[in-house]
Amino acid sequence: MLNWRSEDDTAAWACTLAAQPLLANAFLTLHGDLGAGKTTLVRHLLRVLGVQGRIKSPTYAVVEPHEAPGLAPHATTVWHFDFYRFDDPREWEDAGFRDIFASPGLKVAEWPEKAAALTPLADLAIYIEATDETERKVTLLAHTPLGRSLLQGMNA
Ligand SMILES: Nc1ncnc2c1ncn2[C@@H]1O[C@H](COP(=O)(O)OP(=O)(O)OP(=O)(O)O)[C@@H](O)[C@H]1O
Ligand SMILES: [Mg+2]
């Protein structure tokens, strides 16, 4: 269990995560209520990975791709999913999500519960709970060997 006392702690943890080479081809799920801080964490992560300019959030598009120089040489793209409005399983094939998950790059997903039958198993699941205005209690759960290696790398 982690304790982020402010958004600075959230940003600092994003830095630690970004320093893991295995991150480049990982699938992370972000869990937590509206306003928990899922998008905020992703934005900090994208910044540390070298994404510049305005960072658009996926809403109606469900997925927003970002070119992230910080993932090189292992991959180049971060795919930021937000399944909050996802309700048509046909979209999984039609919008090419299957292909995205089969290709290199970091995939992060908010509201993965809404597409649970379709997404692969997350390497690392991140549970964020707001305990006051700025404090977040965070639980990390690795579901794969890659996820466990990520956790080990961050504790080193
Ligand atoms: N320690 C913190 N970590 C992350 N966000 C924080 C923290 N402290 C305050 N915040 C604020 O909490 C809000 C979190 O909003 P955010 O959009 O990231 O939530 P979300 O989990 O993505 O919600 P949604 O389910 O609606 O997408 C932001 O306004 C952010 O500035
Ligand atoms: Mg969000």
Count helices and strands (H / E) in the chain: 5, 7
Ligand 1 pocket mutation pick from 7, 8, 40, 41 by most atoms within 8 angstroms of CB: 40
Q: What is the pLDDT along the chain (156 residues), one digit of tens a residue?
A: 999 999 999 999 999 999 999 999 999 999 999 999 999 999 999 999 999 989 988 877 899 999 999 999 999 999 999 999 999 999 999 999 999 999 999 999 999 999 999 999 999 999 999 999 999 999 999 999 999 999 999 997
Distance (Å) from CA 63 to ligand 1 centroid: 18
Measuring CA to CA, which residue among 100, 99, 102, 104 is closest to residue 24? Answer: 104
Whether the model pTM is above 0.85: yes
Ligand closest to 34 (CA) is: 1
Distance (Å) from CA 45 to ligand 2 centroid: 14
Residue that has been written with the tokens 């399983």 in this structure: 89
Ligand closest to 43 (CA) is: 1
